[in-house]
Amino acid sequence: MKITHLSPKLVQLTRYPVLFPMNCYLVTEDDGLTLVDSTTSSPADDLAAMVKQLGTELRRVALTHAHGDHVGGVSGVRQRFPGVEVSIARRDAPILAGDKSLLPTEPQTDVKGYFVKVEWQPDRLLEPGDRVGSLEVLPSPGHTPGHIAFLDVRDRSLIAGDAFQTRGGIAVSGDMRLLFPFPAMATWNKPTALASAVALKALRPSLLAVGHGAAVHEPIDAMDRAIEAARRAFS
């Protein structure tokens, strides 16, 4: 995996960086490390090397949503680190278990994307406003009904999952980029995704870290451009 140090407390790990980049993130906390997402296959070997290098422990795995390219590596991580806590949004937990039914209050568009069968269950179900270490849980539905993002309250770094992409050009989830169309193809509801992107931008993050593509420092202008492009595309 390609390893990129984004800040003293945030490391990006990228599987298949040239062909199909899938990112997960290590967040340093006082009591150890939090892994956000896990790519499609286990990053346990790379994690073990980094944990040893940093002289700390992996404490938590926090998932932005239930797609297989974000949760597929969890099983291997749990085998290597059996005491780790795994969390996902309460709304996406049924999807993780194969239940894609929608709530009556949600837009009735099909839940799309790549899913894998998992043999584990999350230890913690997250709600907006919860904390995972220093990460505040932010609702960001659209890519999936229960998609969440994480804002590090210490420096306002935003780990946005697939609410945005930067591979192929920065875009809101659902706004097709021909050089990397897969996040758009897997998006559940475009208007909901656009509303979430607007809400995330309003937080004025210092850094935007996404599931697919390079991180963006001082990302407000880039997020604005993506939002305006999505408004045109979705109208």
**132 three-state secondary structure:** strand
How many Å apart are CA 150 and CA 14, to the nearest integer? Answer: 18
> Count of domains in the chain?
1
Range of the domain at 163: 2-234
> Which DSSP helix (H) or strand (E) runs through 14?
strand 10-15
Query: What's the confidence (pLDDT) of residue 43?
Result: 86
**65 three-state secondary structure:** coil
Global pTM value: 0.97
Query: What's the confidence (pLDDT) of residue 53?
Result: 86
- pLDDT values of the chain reduced to their tens digit, one per residue, 235 residues: 999 999 999 999 999 999 899 999 999 999 999 999 999 988 888 999 988 888 899 999 999 999 999 999 999 999 999 999 999 999 999 999 999 999 999 999 999 999 998 999 999 999 999 999 999 999 999 999 999 999 999 999 999 999 999 999 999 999 999 999 999 999 999 999 999 999 999 999 999 999 999 999 999 999 999 999 999 999 9
Percent of the chain at pLDDT exceeding 90: 92
CATH number for 81: 3.60.15.10
Helices (H), 129-234: 182-185, 190-202, 220-234
Query: What's the confidence (pLDDT) of residue 79?
Result: 94
Residue 222 C-beta-side C-alpha neighbours within 13 Å: 17
